[in-house]
Amino acid sequence: MNFTQMHERLRTELLRRIQRGTLSVSLLARQTGFGQAHLSNFLHNRRHLSLEAMDRILAAQHLAASDLLPASSHSVDLHQESELSTVPVVSHSVALFEPNIRPAAVQSMLHLPSGALQSVRARASVARRTWQRFVVIRIPSADALPMEPLVLPDALAVIDRHYNSLAVYRPNRPNLYAVRQQARLMLRYVDYLAERLVLRPHNIAFPVDLIETEPDHAPNELIVGRVVLILNEP
């Protein structure tokens, strides 16, 4: 990775933190001593930072240079031919918001049989095609209850983030999705009716949730990906 690519990854990471509400331009200005206008120009791609300025921002945000590298550049990742059988386990927040999984965000690696994901079909929006494709999340007890007995507490869910289409993957079988509701990730069956995402649980004892979609946003922006595989604890 060259300097320009690292520069762009830092900008993307800062914008993602601002979008998530964990950072603001004014806070970053206080942390680094840079002017807000200087930082705003950087964030809007109107100017570049020096190496010294990048170092100061990395330190202020508790980032290392290695955090700007895609996970495939880190020692925990494998070569391209085995990527489809070794998938990073990450937090819900990382699965929701991080296009490229930082090495520091990888909790562990899930090893699947060779070729297990090789034939999985993608159906991604244009913006999503640049994201790292497969991730794994763990489902805590409270989040598993609406999907029992399909999903049990502490299950691992393999998510294909290159399938955020509402098109049915297999005839006569509903897709199970990881969906974003504000800053929370949920597993649900999903329909789109009257400009709302309808989130249906597997356990009928739980209610159906509705998410209003904004006029300028496509409904698939709220879909993290299709759940490819559920691994319940024995």
| Domain count along the chain | 2
Residues 19 and 127 in one domain: no
Give the end of a domain, one of 45, 68, 91. 68
Give the end of a domain, one of 68, 88, 108. 68
Residues 111 and 26 in one domain: no
Residue of 27, 2, 4 whose CA lies nearest to 14: 27
Sheet harboring 196-200: ordered strands across? Answer: 108-111, 86-89, 134-139, 155-160, 223-231, 176-181, 184-193, 196-200, 209-212
The CATH number assigned to the domain holding 28 equals 1.10.260.40
Residues 42 and 112 in one domain: no
Buried b (16+ CB within 10 A) or exposed e, 109-143: ebebeeeebeebeebbeeebeebbbbbbbbbeeeb
How many Å apart are CA 208 and CA 37, to the nearest integer?
A: 45
Residues 49 and 95 in one domain: no
Residues 137 and 213 in one domain: yes
Residue 199: give the domain boundaries: 71-231
Residues 136/157, Cβ–Cβ less than 8 Å:
yes
Give the end of a domain, one of 68, 97, 125. 68
How many Å apart are CA 74 and CA 67, to the nearest integer?
A: 9
Residues 46 and 93 in one domain: no
Residues 159 and 208 in one domain: yes
**pLDDT values of the chain reduced to their tens digit, one per residue, 234 residues:** 566 777 888 888 888 788 777 788 898 999 999 998 989 888 888 888 888 888 888 888 887 777 776 654 444 443 444 455 789 999 999 999 999 888 889 999 998 887 788 889 999 988 888 899 999 999 999 999 999 999 999 999 999 999 999 899 998 889 999 999 888 899 999 998 878 899 999 999 999 999 887 777 788 888 999 999 999 976
